[in-house]
Amino acid sequence: MLVMGIDPGLSRCGYGVVRQKGRVTEAVAAGIIRTDKDDPVPQRLYELQVELADLIDAHRPEAVAIERVLFQVNVRTAMGVGQASGVAMAAAAGAGAEVFEYSPTQIKKAVAGWGGADKEQIGQMVQTLLSLPQPLKPVDAADAVAVALCHLAHRPAASRIQAAM
Amino acid sequence: MLVMGIDPGLSRCGYGVVRQKGRVTEAVAAGIIRTDKDDPVPQRLYELQVELADLIDAHRPEAVAIERVLFQVNVRTAMGVGQASGVAMAAAAGAGAEVFEYSPTQIKKAVAGWGGADKEQIGQMVQTLLSLPQPLKPVDAADAVAVALCHLAHRPAASRIQAAM
């Protein structure tokens, strides 16, 4: 099972590809896509679309998990994040991947055990769960890996429910 | 000058293509793109992306004008509209068109003379300005044409300012 996690953003969009085989979960790729704040927003969204499509095409994940955008924080930033998440969803669906959304609380709970975990704890747990020699940098990349791990944590439960029916 | 206006939305996305030649402004095409509420959002965003890219490819507008999304109204709906506007911007930029954003107030002022105009007044003014035999239906299509007309109204002013400098 190959899963790509995406932490959507216009200036910095994190991505992380994780493979699970039996009990072993390993990191395949992780990084961030940056777009230039001085460029027009439509151009930046298009660049994001192309880069994400290329990444999905290169790794061919069966599932793409995207962090859900919440509006409580900052309406101005949320707009860019919402637009970026729309572009990411369209790119993933266009590549034929199944797309899933998880809230920040779901992601934190799945990776660190509780919904109030901070970025540093998430980074540490990502390092531990994937047996990495050092924390993943930058944090947006670790966050994206956490989204992928959240999907893997939710998936077996869904399968078990199906199997029990 | 050929301009495409877009009234972004996930369930219903309006588009309108308008040509201005000298003093004559005429409607070239207008309609709405619908996506099925029962389909997953990523699939719907991808369909929107493909349909908009096809339309832009068919008409080759020099400029694409998009109504800016405001968050005051309804946070749940705004998310879908924001994602749709992101997809629309990326599609337009990807097709090489210049992309412009106008607020609802700017659009109403440009078309009906004041920012408080309602949908019916906008529909009537779109009909008058384009010398249409009857009002454009559905309203989302008329709204999209209004966005295109707003861009045409703002453009000469910008040219005049440049010429005066």
Q: Which of B40, B75, B89 comes nearest A83 by C-beta?
A: B89
The C-alpha R_g of chain B, in whole angstroms, comes to: 15
pLDDT at A73 over 60: no
* Dihedral (Cα; B42, B46, B47, B50), 10-degree rounding: 170
**CA-CA distance, A108 to A115, in Å (whole number)?**
5
Q: What is the pLDDT of residue A165?
A: 41
Residue A80 has a pLDDT of: 86
Active site residue A38: no
B161 falls in which pLDDT band (50, 70, 90)?
very low
Per-residue pLDDT at A78? 77
Structure-token pair, residue A118:
């901070």
Confidence of residue A139 (pLDDT cuts 50, 70, 90): confident
| List of domains in chain B | 2-164 (3.30.420.10)
Query: Considering the entire predicted model, what is its pTM?
Result: 0.89
Contacts of A131 (CB under 8 A, 6+ apart): A26
Nearest CA in chain A to B66: A42
* Nearest to B127, CA basis, from B7, B18, B52, B2: B18
Q: Which of B41, B71, B99 sits opposite A40 (nearest CB)?
A: B99
Picking from A53-67, B118-132, B147-161, which range would have the lowest pLDDT averaged per residue? B147-161
In the predicted model, is pLDDT for residue A40 greater than 80? Answer: yes
Mean pLDDT of chain A: 90
| ipTM value for the complex | 0.87
Cα dist from A4 to A47, A93, A148, A151, B22, whole Å: 19, 13, 6, 9, 52
Q: Report chain B's terminal Cα–Cα distance, integer Å.
A: 23
Is B84's CB within 8 Å of A89's CB?
no
Q: Note whether B94 contacts A41, CB cutoff 8 Å.
A: no
Give dist(CA A151, CA B161) in Å, integer.
Answer: 54
Rounded Cα–Cα distance for residues A137 and A153 (Å): 22
CA distance A22 to A38: 45
Residue of B nearest to A75 (CA): B71
Instruction: Provide the pLDDT for residue A91.
Output: 96
Q: What is the mean pLDDT of chain B?
A: 90
* Chain A residues touching residue B89 (CB < 8 angstroms): 41-42, 45-46, 83
What DSSP designation does B159 have?
A: H
* Cβ <8 Å between A79 and B69: yes
Q: How far apart are CA B108 and CA B122, in angstroms?
A: 7
Q: Does the pLDDT at position A22 exceed 90?
A: no
Tens digits of residue pLDDT in B16-68: 999 999 889 999 999 999 999 999 999 999 999 999 999 999 999 999 999 99
Contacts of B23 (CB under 8 A, 6+ apart): none
Is the pLDDT score of A161 beyond 50?
no
Burial of B107 from C-beta contacts in 10 A (0-12 / 13-18 / 19+): buried
Q: Note the pLDDT of residue B78.
A: 77
Position A164 scores a pLDDT of: 44
Cis geometry, peptide bond prior to residue B138 (ω within 30 degrees of 0): yes
Q: Determine the Cα–Cα distance for residues B118 and B48; give it in Å rounded to an integer.
A: 27
